[in-house]
Amino acid sequence: MNNQSTNQTSSKAGFRLPKLNRWNVSIVTIALLMALPVLVVASFLFQPFNENWTHLYDYLLKDYITNSLILMVGVSAGVLSIGITTAWLTSMCEFPGRRFFSWALLLPLAIPAYIIAYTYTGMLDFAGPLQTLLRETFGWSARDYWFPEVRSIGGAILMLSLVLYPYVYMMARAAFLDQSIAVLEASRTLGNSPLQGFYRVALPLARPAIVTGLSLALMETLADYGTVQYFGIPTFTTGIFRTWFGVGDGGTAAQLAALLLGFVFALLMLEKWSRKRAKFHHSTNKYSTIKRYQMKGWMAALVVFACFMPLLLGFIIPALQLFVWTFTTAEEVIDASFFVLVGNSLMLAALAALIAVSIALLLGYGKRLRKTKVINTSVNVASMGYAIPGTVIAVGVMVPFAWLDNSIDAWMREHFDISTGLIFSGTLFALLFAYTVRFLAVSIQAIDSGLGKIKPTMDDAGRSLGLTPFGVLRRIHMPIMRGTVLTALLLVFVDVLKELPATLIMRPFNFNTLAVRAYEMAADERLPDAGAPSLMIVLVGIIPVILLSHAISHSRAGEHK
């Protein structure tokens, strides 16, 4: 009897082991595939440099580096000043409209930087309504007045700051809401004024979260192509496009992309350092309802103004301009071809979201099954795509896929006298792969959060009933995590809808999306015609912003106001 039970146990162990091994192999394989674009780009640093690179090094590389650094410094100042100030005011002060501003200040996140650049250019350029009104009102000519140039590096810093400050805002606000009220009250009893308490206590405690938000904003700054290209600012992303399409030199473009990776790597190290420091800033677990500073009279008016201006400039004015453009051009722009664009965009976004979330479920649950260093490292590697600019990922995908296409085509021509064409690099396959690499981290983060709320005893109960690991995931975890999975799908869906650089490089011939159409119309100086596709992107982008705001507002124990 004992031998029989031992044999049954061994057979069960022998039956389970391959399944667990298959999970491990699958996770490591996926991680290697997701890392392929970055590895390909990085490998070009070890390739010999040609005459095109020599020309870039002598005449253009200095501008790329200088402008990228100026943008990073300027955007840092902009997002920190706006994000920290508004986060503190909506978290720790009571004033008219506080509850509205607490979620509305995230709305600029729904507008891509290139779209806000188009709207302000249309409004503030020489031929725009504002300067036209000034000339007509005062009878001025072009030489009679000075007006700040929108299409400049200062204009780009302003545009990027207005739409990226929510990264700092949401991280800082979550940190302020998570701080212990006992620590803040102790600061008051020691004689610190509200402003002194902010600088001496609250800000140091929130510094790791603020640095994380700043890192996200700067990664988006480095990844931006539409804004800097439209404003005529030479950066790494514009240089990569110009070298790839203008010169036709994929190798030099990949070498530029590898240099851009260096900037991204530095930001990742900064963010990792900030998270390590976070463990030194934990406060006590004693929470109670926040006693907010009451703002009255002119102080209340000043606080409302400080919160309203970022919302006005970052969302309300651009959104109204897009509505006006859409209304005035609706008969010409919204036709059958426009709905084809909508269909293409929604199809791509839906497919990419399904693929990314499916892989995230596999990785997240695999990490839950096997908490080993290899698995954790593999999942982290698979998640690094979000930090990599879409331009870099596109180059890293196109190079190996083009090589694979050419190899298959040459073999088929030699043996069967048949040309297979561009099976991978010329179809949606490569584009969907690039989207998955770029946005897998978004879905992994959401799925990890959902799995973390499920007790391990649920897994044990499912296995005791004879379910396989996949059966536990499908029949127990998935129903529980339905809301989390839908949120992950939505976040990836919207990110893909807004993505411009990777889509521009990798879209198949004669295939357009809303983001590409908006870019093309703006590049042709047909800004009003860019209104309808841009507005569609913004309207869809509002949905996850509301979800994020709800999550932050309810992040503090006992705090739901």
3-class secondary structure, 325 = helix
Q: Residue 186 has what pLDDT?
A: 61
Residues in the chain with pLDDT values less than 70: 1-21, 178-202, 271, 274-291, 548-561
Q: Judge whether 49 lies within some domain.
A: no
SS3 (DSSP) at 286: coil
Domain presence at residue 457 = yes
Q: How far is CA 7 from CA 1, 460, 469, in A?
A: 10, 22, 22
Question: Contact 385/30 with Cβ under 8 angstroms?
Answer: no
Strand partners, 253: none
Task: Determine the structural domain holding residue 449 and report its residue range.
Answer: 334-523
Q: Is 266 inside a domain boundary?
A: no
CATH number at residue 386: 1.10.3720.10
DSSP designation for 295: P
Euclidean distance between CA atoms 460 and 463, whole angstroms = 5
Taking a C-beta distance cutoff of 8 angstroms, is the pair 134, 332 a contact?
no
Q: Which of left, alpha, beta for 474 (phi over 0: left; psi -120 to 50: alpha)? A: alpha
Q: What are phi and psi of 294, to 5 degrees?
A: -80, 120
Which 8-state DSSP code applies to residue 383? T
Q: In whole angstroms, give the CA distance from residue 382 to residue 385.
A: 7
Give CA–CA dist 334/513, Å, rounded: 14
Q: How many domains does the chain have?
A: 1
221 occurs within a structural domain: no
Other C-beta atoms lying within 10 Å of the C-beta of residue 189: 7
Phi, psi of 454 (to 5 degrees): -100, 125
pTM of the model: 0.83
Alpha carbon distance 225, 234 (integer Å): 10
Which residue type occupies 279?
K
For residue 102, being part of any structural domain is answered with no
Q: By the 8 A CB rule, do 162 and 110 touch?
A: no
Q: Round to whole Å and give the CA distance between 122 and 114.
A: 12
Q: What are phi and psi of 192, to 5 degrees?
A: -75, 135
Task: Tell me if 350 is assigned to some domain.
Answer: yes
The tokens describing 384, both together, are: 């690094």
Question: What's the CA gap between 354 and 104, in Å, rounded?
Answer: 29
Q: Look up residue 216 and give its amino acid.
A: L
* pLDDT given at position 10: 42
Bridge partner list, 385: none
Number of neighbours of residue 271 by Cβ within 10 angstroms: 20
Residue 93 tokens, joined: 């002060």
| Structural tokens at position 382 | 């698979």
| 440, part of any domain | yes
In a domain, 558, yes or no: no
CA distance 492 to 345: 13
Calpha distance 89→91 (Å, rounded):
6
CB 426 within 8 A of CB 405: yes
